[in-house]
């Protein structure tokens, strides 16, 4: 079973940038579809972005398009989320997720599509 550990979350100011990392224990990391989700207080966990095995295709939630970039380095078993132009509405716990399947971008935006989850890292954007 793959283990996922997020890091990089911290307090940043409005308009600032931050890069999150997700390190995987699985040495066959390149075979996994990866994704980022987030959950704000009082809200449901929501999709942020996903990336295919090779990184050739990415899919983003409308709320982060043009501001966030998902990427992966399979040689390092690590996925990243570069976040720019941060807003207070981006404040949430950010979770890394993984699965071996790919069912298309929209379906991979569902929490039920992923078998493995990290513990989350807190991102807080001040006004």
CB atoms within 10 A of CB 27: 9
Distance between CA atoms of residues 85 and 76, nearest Å: 27
- What pLDDT is stored for residue 54 in this prediction? 82
- What pLDDT is stored for residue 9 in this prediction? 97
- What pLDDT is stored for residue 101 in this prediction? 84
19-33, 64-78, 101-115: which is most confident: 64-78
Average of per-residue pLDDT across 105-114: 89
pLDDT band at 105 (very low <50, low <70, confident <90, very high): confident
Percent of the chain's residues with pLDDT above 70? 100
The closest alpha carbon to 39, from 126, 127, 119, belongs to: 119
Distance between CA atoms of residues 95 and 118, nearest Å: 6
- What pLDDT is stored for residue 35 in this prediction? 96
Average of per-residue pLDDT across 1-14: 94
- What pLDDT is stored for residue 2 in this prediction? 87
Average of per-residue pLDDT across 39-62: 93
**Long-range contacts formed by 67-75: CB under 8 A, 24+ apart:** 70/34, 70/35, 70/36, 72/34, 74/29, 74/30
Average of per-residue pLDDT across 62-77: 95
Per-residue pLDDT for 7 more than 80?
yes
Per-residue pLDDT for 28 more than 80?
no
What DSSP string describes 68-125? EEEEEEGGGTEEEEEE-S--GGG-EEEEEEEES----TTGGGSGGG-SEE---EEEEE
């Amino acid at each position: 079973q793959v283990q996922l550990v997020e890091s990089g979350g911290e307090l940043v100011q409005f308009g600032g940038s931050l890069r999150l990392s997700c390190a995987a224990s699985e040495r066959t990391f390149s075979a996994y579809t990866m994704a980022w989700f987030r959950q704000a207080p009082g809200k449901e966990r929501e999709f942020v972005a996903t990336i295919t095995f090779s990184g050739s295709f990415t899919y983003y939630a409308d709320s982060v398009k043009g501001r966030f970039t998902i990427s992966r380095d399979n040689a390092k078993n690590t996925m990243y989320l570069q976040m720019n132009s941060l807003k207070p509405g981006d404040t949430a716990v950010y979770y890394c997720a993984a699965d071996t399947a790919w069912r298309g971008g929209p379906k991979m935006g569902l929490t039920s599509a992923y078998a493995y989850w990290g513990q989350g890292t807190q991102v807080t954007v001040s006004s």
